[in-house]
Structures are given as structure tokens and as C-alpha cells.
Amino acid sequence: MADRATEILKEYYGGDAQFREGQQEAIEATLSNRRTLVVQKTGWGKSLVYFICTKMLREEGRGITLVVSPLLALMDNQREAADRLGLKCEILNSTVSRDDRPLILSRIKNGDPDIVFTTPETLFSDDVQRSLPDIKIGLFVIDEAHCISDWGHDFRLDYGNLNKIIAALPSRVPVLATTATANDRVVEDLKRQLGGDVFVSRGSLMRESLAIQIVKLPDTADRYTWILKNIASLPGTGIIYCLTRNDCEHLSGFLNQNGVPALPYYSGRDEAENIAAIKAFSENSIKAIVATVKLGMGFDKGDIGFVIHFQQPSNIVSYYQQIGRAGRKLDRAYAILMSGCEDEKIIDYFIDTAFPTREECESAMKEIEEGGGAGKNYLLSRLNMPGGRLDKTLDFLMNENAIYKQNARYYPSLNTYSYDEEHYSVVTEIRRREKEQMRDLIDTGECYLKFVVNCLDDKSAQPCGKCANCLGRPLIGGEALSAAEKESALKFINSLILPIEPRKRWAKTDLTEGGAIEYINLEGLCLSRYGDVGYGRMVSEDKRGGVRFRDELVERSAEALKELIARNGITRIAFVPSLRSGLVKDFAARLATATGLKFTDVIKKSPAEQQKFMQNSAHQCHNAFASFHVEGEVEEGANILLVDDIVDSRWTLTVCGFRLMEKGAASVTPYALATSSRREDE
């Protein structure tokens, strides 16, 4: 067995090729039909283990290797590597068209490919589950196996179901799980889930090529400035990690505007654009790819010279996973960790929303049980819960076998459901402590890399001798920035004008039919993100102050609206009224003076719940539709600018625009000082 493994290695990688410490032992353990867990540092070569195992098993006439991987970018890398070893490869994931899936599944059932890469979500889809009994599996591989464990940093519900697949496999089918980011607690959980006698291959997590520096600049504009000032000094190409999609878009836009080629990459972006970004990055035709954690695992590019974190990750294991993208085939690579004033809020949001609450689960269960089944739209109309939260709750309940889905409806199962609050609270508390570890890393005076791997329960680490703490000086640039250097960043941030897209269909409520909206707003503008540096912070401060919005916001709004007013032939300003404050009315009146438009006060509001407490479209639409009406004359054929301070769901602007056009206005263009919506960042 050992001789053949070595022959394959030398055949494809050259006569001088040698296994890294632990690789051959992992191959032998896997081929001996043992449950095998490989916990090795990024770049160690975990995929080589299952490639060689596949080669040897196929030579014996065994079934295919089924690899469950979390990320699409990882699969493309793995396919290229498999091809180099002469393995026939298939990919089955969300990028495969519905028409192509039956043909691919047929080839897999026939045993044509040697290795198949799929995602857990695809593996548990109906068509794959129906085909699974007919697929002869020779080796089952779980890549990024920490995702199985809800003690891990990136638990995914469908990953959590893989233990059911493992339990159903014949005992002669070996199972291999691989990860670079498992501490002792996660390792023990993975051993339990893999079952049987588990062989663990665990090595040192020190990455000799990595040099870490921490840059403490809490302000967004300062971090923009530091990156622009220093990125040319960083070697080769690199990844800049951001916590939100908007930060990816804006930071990449800023870099491009200042002559640094960069592209964004995140979930929810057009997949063709993501693929193009990966291609450009792989070919080194851009300096940086600005990404969320969608690019956090498994992307294999050996010459990545740097990783910058625009905000701190939520925990050490995520951080280690992400900096591990750099320096795989380089003697020196840089990991720059920045910390921002928004970090805590974003990280707390992710921690707080990781599990559905007891109330969310029980209210959803109640509606499903009492109705003998329910569709998602019905549940949204009954439950004041954001759509994303409802999706998470339903997925969670299905994972707990409390409900099942059939023909787009959810039904109660025969299982008794109990909300395990104690377990979820323990996991949440652990994640809070892990967040504190990140803060401790930022403030530590010891070797940064040693601190990181110690947190991952590798106690053998010695100081790296390369990080900023070991050297006692910054590796790249300092934190001192002049006002002149920051000017371009501030100007860019304050120039960001966000579109307000019109809603075109009513949410289905007892006041609306859910059909097309007869009178639709034109696309509007929003000046800022609420609370962000620049105008967003001004809006936040003035709204909390409760007196009036400052003149600078009036002047900037008039300037931003000039072209739109001319293009849409706007002659009047209306505003969204409030029963608690005159801030918007005062601002709209001053904006009318600044723009030369006629001020009109015709929209009235009835007493109702505050819109900010409405959690999904059905409730937001109903609440706005019941709240706003028009009193007085609306000039027939008038083109109106509709002003509000904060926009979130857009239902208030949609309803108020509808009411104005219902009374004779020709068009309504919305304008808001800030958006508080973060849904696109989730």
C-alpha cells in the first residue's frame, strides 16, 4: 500500500517528490477502512490524501469518491488538481443547470467519474437523495469538516446532517474528514460524529511563511487610506476580507478609482461576475480580490502575497483559515489585521442570529400544526418575522426533524420537538468568548502567530520571529495618516449615492391582493448609510439630537438631487410625516428652498405601530398601507420629490408615492438621507 502510494506521488509530481509528515499515514489509515480525521495546517496537502486514495481504490475496482465541499471556488480548484492526477471528475452543485443534472447523475450512477464534488445543500436535494441508493461509493470525504460541528466557527445545517449519510454507509466504505481549523473541542465532536475508531492525523499549525501585523484604525476612511497608501508595498496579489457585501463593493470601487485594480467577490453577487473575479485574481490581472468569507476556505492559489482583514473576523479559527490562503508557495507573505469601530456590532449580529429563538421556533410550529401545514407566504403574513429569519427557522426545524417540506408547504412531523435552549446558549457563549480572543489577539504583546495557534490548541508553537511584535516594528507602513492623505477616502465615501429601487408588487395582506402596484415610484436616491462615516454619521447624530438636520445635509442633498430633479421634471417636494417629530418636515421645507421646488404638505399619518417594528414585507406593507393617506389637493400631472429621513424596507415610500399618484401626481421620486437596511449584508 505504501509503495503504490509513493509510486503515484512520484509519477505525477516528479521523482524527487516526498510525502509531507503525516500524509502517508493518513492515506494508509483511510485505505484500511478506518474513519480518518485529518487536522493539518492550510497548505499541508489534505486533498492529496483523498486523491491518492481515490486512485488506488479505483485501481481495485471500488466505487467513486464522493467529496462534500462547502464552496464553489474550492471545487474548481480541486477539479484542476484531480485532472493533474489523471482522475475523471464531475461537479454537482448549484451552478449546474436543471437540464444537465439528470445526465450528470446518470453518469455518477454508472460509476463513470472517479471523483465527484458536491455541496451539502446539493447532496440533500430531492433528486440527489433519490439517486443516492444507486450510487456505488468507494470513499466518502468531508472537506472543511469543522462545518459538521456546531461547536465550529462555520456550522451549516446541511453539513450537520452528513452524519446520517455516514451512518448509512456500508462498514467497508472508508470515511475521511479534513480541516485546518479544529480545536480540541471540535476534534472531539468530529470523532463522535464520524463514529467508530477514528484515526486522527494532527500536526503543527505554524505557518512559517506568514508575517502578521495589526493596524488599529477604527475609522472607515482611515482604513481606506492605509490600504491605498500601502498596498503597493505588499508583494504580488492578495485578498482583502470584509464582513459585509457593501464593504466589498465600496472598497473595491475606491481602489479602482485610485488606480489599484480590484474586484469584489461575495455570496448573492451574480455568479458569472464572481467567476470572472476569481479568474482575474488567479491570472494576477488584479492586485486584490475584495471578498467576504465566501472565499474563506479552500481556495488554492500558491502565490497569494498578502491577506488584509478590513474588519476583524468573529473568531480565531476563521482568522487562521483566512490568513492561510496566503504564502502557500512563497517564503514570505503578509497578514494585515485591521479593527474597525463597526466590528463589534456586525460580529454580535452574526452571533445573536446564529440560532432561531425559542419564540420563533414555537410560533412557526404553532402555525404549521394548527393549519395542518403552511406555505412560506402564509407564515410571513401570520408571523412578524423577517423573511431570512423565517427561512433559518424553517431550515432549523427541518434539521431537528420537527417538520418536513413537500410541494412548497411545511408539515409537522410525527417527532416530538423540544427546543434545546441550554445547548444553544452554551454554543452562543463560546462564540462570545471566541470574539474576546480576537480582541486579545489585537492587544497582545506576544508573537501574533504563536497566540493564534495556541488558541487552536497547538501548544507546541514557538515565536515566529517575523511578525510585527517579534520584530518590534511595523512590517508595512505605520498608523499615522495625514489629513491630506485621508482626503480622497473621505471624498469617496461622501460621494456614495445609493439607489432606492421601486417596489413593483404589493406584499399579500388583507389590505392588498399581492398583485402588481398600479402606481410605481421612479428610482430614487439615498445619500448615505445610517451611522457610517461622513454623512451617515451626521444623519445619525442629528436624528438622535432631535432638533433639526444640519445645513450641510440640506446643501449636499440639493447638490446630489440637481441632475435628478432636471431629468424627472420635478416641481414639488412632499415629505413622509411623523407623529413624533417634525425633523423631516423641517428638512423638506429647507430642501425645497435650496432647490427652488414648491413645498407641499398633503400626506397625513394615522396612529399606528412604528414601521421599524415590522419585520417582514407582509407586515411592513400592511402597516404602511393602513397608516398613510393624502388630504388636500395634489396638482394634476405634478412630478413630486418624496422626502424621508431613513429608508429601510421601502414600503413607506412605496405607499406614500402610490397615494400621491392615486390623487393625480404624474410621478414620484423618493429621496432619503440614509438607509438603515442591512439585509444585503447578511
- If DSSP states are collapsed to H, E and C, what string results for 417-473? CCCCHHHHHHHHHHHHHHHHHHHHHHHCCCCHHHHHHHHCCCCCCCCCCCCHHHHCC
The reported pLDDT for the residue numbered 296 is 61
Q: What type of residue sits at position 429?
A: E
CA 531 to each of CA 267, 555, 646, 674: distance values in angstroms, whole numbers, following the listed order: 24, 19, 11, 8
Quick one: which H or E segment has residue 282? helix 271-282
CATH 3.40.50.300 in the chain, residue ranges: 2-202, 206-475
The reported pLDDT for the residue numbered 678 is 56
Set of cell numbers at residue 110? 454508472
Q: What span, in angstroms and rounded, lies between the C-alpha atoms of 40 and 58?
A: 26
Q: What span, in angstroms and rounded, lies between the C-alpha atoms of 41 and 204?
A: 7
Which residues of the chain, if any, have pLDDT below 50?
Answer: 679-682
Residue with cell string 504563536: 450
Please say whether the beta carbons of 576 and 642 come within 8 A.
yes
Specify the pTM: 0.79
Question: What CATH number belongs to 2-202?
Answer: 3.40.50.300
The reported pLDDT for the residue numbered 15 is 87
The reported pLDDT for the residue numbered 387 is 87
Q: What span, in angstroms and rounded, lies between the C-alpha atoms of 450 and 454?
A: 6
The reported pLDDT for the residue numbered 255 is 97
DSSP at 308: E
CATH 1.20.120 fits 496-681, yes or no: no
The reported pLDDT for the residue numbered 177 is 93
The reported pLDDT for the residue numbered 71 is 67
Question: What CATH number belongs to 206-475?
Answer: 3.40.50.300
> Would you call 157 helix, strand, or coil by DSSP?
helix
Following DSSP, what letter does each residue of 480-538 receive, concatenated?
---HHHHHHHHHHHHH--EEEPPP-B--B-SS-BSSB-SS-PPPEEE--BTTSTTHHHH
Q: What span, in angstroms and rounded, lies between the C-alpha atoms of 153 and 147?
A: 7
DSSP at 187: H
> Would you call 13 helix, strand, or coil by DSSP?
helix
Please enumerate in sequence order all residues whose Cβ is within 8 A of that of 203, keeping only pairs 6 or more positions apart, or say none. Answer: 21, 22, 39, 40, 41, 44
The reported pLDDT for the residue numbered 145 is 85
